[in-house]
Structure 1
Amino acid sequence: MNGEDGRDVAVLRNKRDASRYQILVAIAARQPAVSQQEIADAVGVTAQAVSEYVRELVESGAVEKHGRGRYEVTKEGVDWLISRTEDLRAFTEFVTEEVVGQVDADTAIAGEPLDAGETVTLTMDDGVLHAHAGEEGSATARTLTAADAGADVGVAEFDGLLDYETGTVTVVVLPDVRDGGSRAVAADEVARLTTQHDLLATAGVEALAAARRAGHDPDVRFGTAQAVEEAATRGLSVLLLVGPRDLAAHTDRLREGSVGYELVDARESPGAAIER
C-alpha cells in the first residue's frame, strides 16, 4: 500500500502481510513459551492459520523453533518488525498531519496578508473567526492557504482555546395581533434596545412589524432559533423580537445551548426583565 507521499507501507498491502506482522508481534511478546491458540485468539485467525504462519516464519528465518510450543523471534525477525513498524509510524503521522489535519479545518478572515503554512493567532471578532500573523494569542493554528488581508483563509492544526465571552440574548415578547401585536410595543423602546445590541432578529409577523415601526430592518428574519443561538455562541449580543407562537422554540434552543437570556414582556414594560 502506497501513501500519498509515495511511501510503501508493505504490511498494509494485504491481509496476509498484516496477519504475519501481528503473529510475529504476538510471538515476540510471549516468547519463549508460546501457545498457538493464544496467538489465534489475539490476532483473530484460526489456530490452523497460526500454525501455517509460524511454519513460514520459521522457514524464512524470522523465528526459531526450540521445541513444541517454544519459539523465539530472531534478529532478522526483529529487524523486519522494526522496519515495518517504522513504515506504519511514518504513514500514521502522514495521515494524522496531512489528511486528518486538513479535514479538521475551518475558515477565518485574514487580518493581514498571510502565507500558506504560517502559524497564526485566532480571535473571534464580531462573531467571525479571524487569523492574525504570529502565535502570541491563546489559540493558534496553521494556515492551509495564502490570503490577502480581509480574504478568507483555511486554518487547521488548532492549539489552545479562543479567549472570548459568549454573548447574551434579550427576548422581547410581543402579544398576538388580536391583543395588539406590534402596536402594543413602544417603538422608541424597541429602537433604544436595538442600538444596545449587535444584531436584531425577528420571529413572526408581529415582530417584523414592531421592528419596522421602530425604524429598523432585522438582521435575521428566517431560521431565527438557530441563528440567534449561534450568534450568541460566537460572542454577539442579540435583541430578539418574537411572537407568542414562536417563543418556546427559541427559549428551548437557548437553554439547550446554555446561552444566557432575559425575557421581557412587551405588554407590560419593554424594559422590565422577568426571566434570566
Structure 2
Amino acid sequence: MTDGVDERDVAVLRNKRDASRYQILVAIAARQPAVSQQEIADSVGVTAQAVSEYIRALVDAGHVEKHGRGRYEVTKEGVDWLISRTEDLREYTEFVSEDVIGQVESETAIAAAAVTAGDRVALSMRDGTLTASPEDADAGTGATAVALTDAERGADLGVAEFEGLLEYDPGTVTVVVLPGVREGGSRAVAADRLVDLAAAHDLVGVAGTEALAAVRGVDLAPDIRFGTPQAVQEAAVRGLSVLLVVTARERSAHTDRLREHNVSYELVDVRQ
C-alpha cells in the first residue's frame, strides 16, 4: 500500500484486453456448451469478430475447449484463471469500499459556531439535528469529525473522517388514543390534561380527524400531521420526545412501527 493506493496487481481492471477476456470467459461459462458469439458480443459490448478472436486466443491458452461449431466449454485452467481474477476483484472492491470510500464518506451538520474547513469539530445531536461545534467548545463529546467546508453559525456544514461515538439519549413517545367520533371523539378529551402533556414534549403529532380536532381545540398547532408512523419514529430515534394523539383505528399502525424500531412509548388516557 503506497499513499493510500493498493499495489495489488488487478490486471483485469488495468488492461482492457484482460477485462474483455474476463467478461467473455464468464459469458462462455454461463452459456456453455451452445455459445452464440453474437449474444456474447452484445452483452460485452464488442463486435462478433472480436469475440471470435478472443475465443480463439482462449482456446490457444487452454482456457476453453472447442467441441464443434458454436460449442465451447471452459476448462479447469480457465476456471482457475477466472477464480484468481475474481478474487483479485473482490479484494480490490473491499479495499475501495472500506479504505477509500469509507475515508471520504461525509454527512451534513449545522454549525453551532463559526467553523473553518479542516478544523476538527465536536458532534452532538441537538433538537434532532446533527450539530458541529469547535472541538474545545464541547469538551468531552464522544464523536468528532473534520469540517469539509467553512461555515458561519447556523449554516450547513460538511463533515467527514469521523471518530468516536455520537452520544445522546433516544426520545420517547407518549400515545394518547381517542375514541371515534360516534363515541365522543375530541369532545371526550380533558383539555387541561392534553395541554400539560403537549408542554412536556418537543413535538406534537396527530393521526386522524378526531385527533386533529382535539389538538386544535386546545389552541395547539400539530408539528406532524402526515406520514406520522415514520415521522414520529424518526423523531424519537433522533432524541426528540413526541406526544402522539391518534384515533383508535390509527393506533396499531403507529405502535407497531415503534416496537419494530425499539422506540419506547407509553399509552396515556386523557378522557374526561
Same fold (TM over 0.5): yes
Q: Kindly tell me: are residues 16 and 45 of structure 1, through their superposed partners in 2, closer, same or farther at Cα, counting changes over 3 Å? A: farther
Write the distance in 1 (CA, Å) between the matches of 2:121 and 2:77.
49
**Could you give the per-residue CA deviations for residues 125-161 of structure 1, whole angstroms, max 9, x where no partner exists?**
1111101112752111122222111100111222221
Pick one of 240, 243, 247 that aligns with 1:239.
243
* 2:82 is equivalent to residue 44 of structure 1: yes
2:186 corresponds in structure 1 to: 182
Deviations 1:82-109 (A, max 9, x none): xxxxxx99x998886665544x321110
Q: Closer, same or farther in 2 for the Cα pair 1:15/1:221, shift >3 Å?
A: same
Task: State how far apart, in whole Å, the 1-side matches of 2:132 and 2:173 are.
Answer: 27
Alpha-carbon distance in structure 1 between the residues aligned to 2:144 and 2:18: 41
Identity %: 53
> 1:233-272 to 2 correspondence within 5 Å?
233-267=237-271
- Counterpart position of 1:155: 159
Residue 147 of structure 2 aligns with an amino acid whose one-letter code is T
Question: What letter is aligned with 2:245?
Answer: L
Tell me the residue number matched to 2:71: none
The structure-2 alpha-carbon separation of the partners of 1:93 and 1:255, relative to structure 1 and needing over 3 Å to count, comes to closer
Asked if the contact 1:175/1:266 (under 8 Å) is kept, the reply is: no
Specify the alignment match of 1:106 in structure 2.
107
For the 8 Å contact 2:193–2:270, the answer to whether it is kept is no
- Over 3 Å counting, the alpha-carbon distance change for 1:221 and 1:248 in structure 2 is same
Show structure 2 runs of 5+ residues with no match: 21-62, 64-74, 85-90
Q: Helix, strand or coil: the match of 2:249? A: coil
Tell me the residue number matched to 1:119: 120
Normalising by structure 1, we get a TM-score of: 0.64
The answer to whether structure 1 residue 132 and structure 2 residue 133 are counterparts is yes
- Residues 114 and 92 of structure 1: CA distance in aligned 2, closer, same or farther (over 3 Å): farther
Q: In structure 2, what residue type is equivalent to 1:266?
A: V
Q: What is the CA–CA distance in structure 1 between the aligned matches of 2:96 and 2:248, rounded to whole Å? A: 54
Is the CA contact (8 Å cut-off) linking 1:202 and 1:218 kept in structure 2?
yes
- Partners of 1:160 and 1:206 in 2: CA distance: 45
Structure 1 distance, partners of 2:224, 2:166, is 26
| Structure-2-length-normalised TM-score | 0.65
| Count of aligned pairs between the two proteins | 204
- Quote the Cα distance in structure 1 between the aligned partners of 2:224 and 2:175: 14
Q: C-alpha distance in 1, partners of 2:170/2:191? A: 28
